[in-house]
Chains A and B, each alone.
Chain A
């Protein structure tokens, strides 16, 4: 068969193909915008209702514009304490889980050892366990121990739970960044006389820092938002922000809660935007330095 014949033999556009091409070209863009709108809609509604004036009624129907909740965010009983508790648990669990998880990620990404497959499965399991089972099983352990500091439930019992569920997420995040890590840089440091300790802090750590920061950010947002596990592992002594929201759903969530939710959202988005801009600026600076060095070399030659 001649080459020209082959071109003619190419199957003509079927109906499926035509539909696919149309979808591919125009509808995907519209679809993406609609999907993003769908994802952001509840966030917009939440922020909007922080400006609502529920005037005694529960905050589910728009009544009128008011800045009252923004001017007096902590007017609600227990709100300030709940936010402080949430922030404390989020900070502590982030620091501890990030340290423990980064170490595991380093071991998994850099070392061959016996029991890798089991370790991988063991790290994955807490992420695959429904939150309700994680919380409930920890509760049975605390109840079975039955003595302080594990029972009655308190700040520490929540913190233990948050570190536990955060470790796996840190491992996964840091490990993703460790893929393709330039091991020869560490070897170069060792060749130049640095020991393992110095090599780690001067070479390895600065290189994996972006991954570690991303993991810490994830851990922090998971911790500050967690309700299900916290509801099981926290009693009446320590109340976190999500626990307070849940308690208020029965009698109506005050707009002040929406104010705090909006502040947390804007802060988190701001932090991510800032870290992206900083790392982009760094990459550009590195490129400039590299270009100048090559130019200098060329000039010297």
Chain B
């Protein structure tokens, strides 16, 4: 977060200013959107919950639609995700460099969990196509 935007006590509206914001890696590549936030709650009674991670992906998206329909969809998605061992991509809050019209991360695209689907597609499908090894030549 830049000096202009990271001053202590800065107020951030989670839904208005974070949800659906574009995630950008340190090289300017688009790496997904924020679909949910994860909070950590300390054992200390009276402690305020802290944002611990940004979540991105279909599982997170299903759970922020809102209302009864959103909650039902989220519950269904959680059950399906658990059955398939699939969870939303998780980005530790310590990687967040700047919160503005987009959210900049201090990491490269290949090191970020949101790139999981792209990596899977490349490793499992694209690389199996005859001639795929010559793509970069």
Q: Do A and B come from one complex?
A: no
Interface set of A (CB-CB < 8 Å, partner B):
none
